[in-house]
Amino acid sequence: MSYNLKNLGFIAFIGFILVLFFHAELALSLYFDFENNDQLKQWETVGTWKIVKDDDKKSNVLSGEGTNEVCALVGEKDWKDYTIEFEANGQTDEISVVFRGQNSDNYLSFMIAPSLNLSEFFKKEGGAFDENISQKGDSLGVKIQQWNKYKVIVQNDKATVFLNGKEVLKPLEIGNFKGFEKGRIGFRQWSDKAYYDNVLITGPGIPRTLGEPGAVKSIGKLSITWAKIKKINN
């Protein structure tokens, strides 16, 4: 009898661990709708970044602006492959998404600057920009003060960009870029103001957080949840 009780206790314990694990694996995805000010705490920022109400979209959004370069990074330096989905609106000109970033001086990026009729990938390494790492394109139909949907798939030695569901430019070959094998995700502009919203980051090893579209409704506690998960994972 006592043996059975012990077994029962052990089974309950394993069940408890499984529930914890299950919760951590299924309940979370890195998603920001910026409807709660706490979500900004996840981001490491250079320049002025805040959550503002966009009257056009009727939604709270992430706003970045500054006189030189402004940058907001999220995630971990050891994340390798991921898909970043987001909406962006260049309030004064360019929008630009960062991937495989270590900090605001070392990252890869894709940008669109309507005023220059330009879209391109570029690299910032040790604070120096290299804009000649791939074929350039025009503004791809993107206008200033217009919301568009983007998706960037970063996988192994390639980065592919989709604009409103359509693949644009040639994928960036990143296999030869030393120091850019892994890195964080983010946004940046140079001397411009831009809005971003509904940022969803998915990929192996990336914690899944409450609020993934279609999964769980509330993401009010997102920052707390991710902090907890980071503790569990570490």
Site residues (CB under 5 A) for Ca ion, limited to 117-146: none
Query: Based on CB atoms, which residue is closest to Ca ion, 188 or 208?
Result: 188
Q: Phi and psi of 218, rounded to 5°?
A: -85, 135
Site residues (CB under 5 A) for Ca ion, limited to 43-72: 59-60
Q: How far is the CB of 59 from Ca ion (least distance, A)?
A: 4
Query: Based on CB atoms, which residue is closest to Ca ion, 34 or 82?
Result: 34
How many residues bind Ca ion (CB under 5 A)? The answer is 9
Per CB under 5 A, the list member of 121, 192, 201, 210 interacting with Ca ion is 192
Query: Based on CB atoms, which residue is closest to Ca ion, 2 or 68?
Result: 68
Question: Does the protein bind Ca ion through residue 33 (CB under 5 A)?
Answer: yes
Per CB under 5 A, the list member of 49, 119, 188, 197 interacting with Ca ion is 197
d(CA 2, CA 56): 67
Query: Based on CB atoms, which residue is closest to Ca ion, 57 or 158?
Result: 57
**Residue nearest Ca ion, CB atom distance:** 59
Binding residues vs Ca ion (CB under 5 A): 33-34, 59-60, 94, 190-192, 197
